[in-house]
Amino acid sequence: MTSTRMSRNQKLTPIIKGRTIAQIGWDGPAAQLHFGDGSVLRIHTAAAPPHGAPPATLGKVLAVRQSLDAIAFDLDGASSLQFALAEPTSCVMLRNAKGALEYAD
């Protein structure tokens, strides 16, 4: 099951729109997007980035787009941050600074 069409994630976009990605960490193939407000978005990706890969773009989130195999964050300054997903679903989880669940897929 593959798909290249990316459509706006209507549930996640309004939650993180306006938040700034301050840092990106990796725990094996799981990416952790740390936002300026202390919230953390965990993404199970298809693979960890290769050693020595250039640092990812950071910035304020404008929208989230998603297909069955990838998720993309449109950032201010016309840049975008994209991750290949390990599965079509069940790969993304957002918790606020206090650890409370804000979004899960």
Binding site for another protein (CB under 8 A): 1, 3, 9, 11-12, 68, 87-90, 92-93, 100-105
The DSSP bridge pattern shows strands 70-75 and 20-27 to be unpaired
Q: 89 is written with which tokens?
A: 């679903």
**Nearer Cβ to another protein (10/50):** 10
**Nearer Cβ to another protein (3/79):** 3
Q: 82 is written with which tokens?
A: 């994209």
> Which amino acid is present at 31?
A
Q: How far is the CB of 12 from another protein (least distance, A)?
A: 7
Q: How far is the CB of 87 from another protein (least distance, A)?
A: 6
Q: Is 102 in contact with 95 (CB distance < 8 Å)?
A: yes
